[in-house]
Amino acid sequence: MSEEAKLWDIIIVGGGPAGVAAAIYTGRSLLKTVVIEKAIMGGNVVNTERIENYPGFHGGIEAFELAAKFRDHAAEFGAEIKNEEVQGITLEGNLKIIETNQGSCRGKAVIIATGLIPTKLGASGEDKFWGRGVSACATCDGPFYKDLVVAVVGGGNAAVEEAIHLTKFAKEVHIVHRRDQLRAIKLLQERAFAEPKIKYQWNSVVKEIYGSDVVEGIELEDVRTHETRKLAVDGTFIYVGLKPISDWVGQMVQRNKQGYILVDKDMQTNVPGIFAAGDVVNPDYRQVVISAGEGARAALAVEKYLTEHWSS
């Protein structure tokens, strides 16, 4: 049977905490399950260094280790994992067709758990140097900046956490924030202020990222005086926000103005049989444990849906 002809009970789009938890539940219920993930299983979990608040891991766990456990746990219960990029979704009667860069998958139900992607600054030079000195993953790229100077743009939890992580490699880390105080939780702030390698560029925004072949510096603008100044750095890490990965659903599935998918109490969208969970529906609480819980909830709702609509 060809891949296009195979019929899945459930197609899960996204291999982060929500998608993995859903796959564990549906696989354990003996539902034919496939997880489509374009990158590494674990989702945005792998963009941090260590998870300290996931139940059962007293003392914390390395993010990549947790992601590996996610993958293995889903596979243990029979979930098939496809490394493909989802491009669209269509309906064929009650069937859901997921189009990817490598073909299509047909399923009785779908759980969308695609998560979030970093918001870009829109600064001059940002796209030119993306991947060549501009990044949104300090955990991935931090080792490239051993004994160099870097900037971290943002003042929330992610920015401060990654700035702290970068001090393991860089000789100096500049936090660039448009306000005069951080927005991160107090624990992270205390850690950052206690780190002598971290410097602060308050009330500042990045206007330009410049260099020849690689990043050589950033131009900052003071939001109060509008005066500009240059800061020599070898790399820039951007943490100014996130947006849901939902454009691929088109007009079929209802979303709010920010692009977050709208669901009911059972995590079901406006389309029967299409569910969503995790950060792609939740703009307020981006936590591994919450996403996993929503994934489990969606999986239980899927099982109920299949019993009511697909039982022979």
The residues assigned a catalytic role are 137, 140-141
Residue closest to 33 by CA, chosen among 113, 142, 92, 141: 113
Cα–Cα distance measured from residue 46 to residue 63, given in angstroms and rounded to the nearest whole number? 5
Picking from 234, 227, 226, 243, the residue whose alpha carbon sits closest to that of residue 209 is: 234
Q: Alpha-carbon distance 202 to 176, whole Å?
A: 6
Taking CA atoms, 268 is separated from 19, 127, 265, 302, in Å, by 14, 36, 7, 9
CA dist., res. 230 & res. 219, Å (int): 4
Q: How many whole angstroms separate alpha carbon 149 and alpha carbon 29?
A: 51
Strand 172-176 with 198-201, pairing: parallel
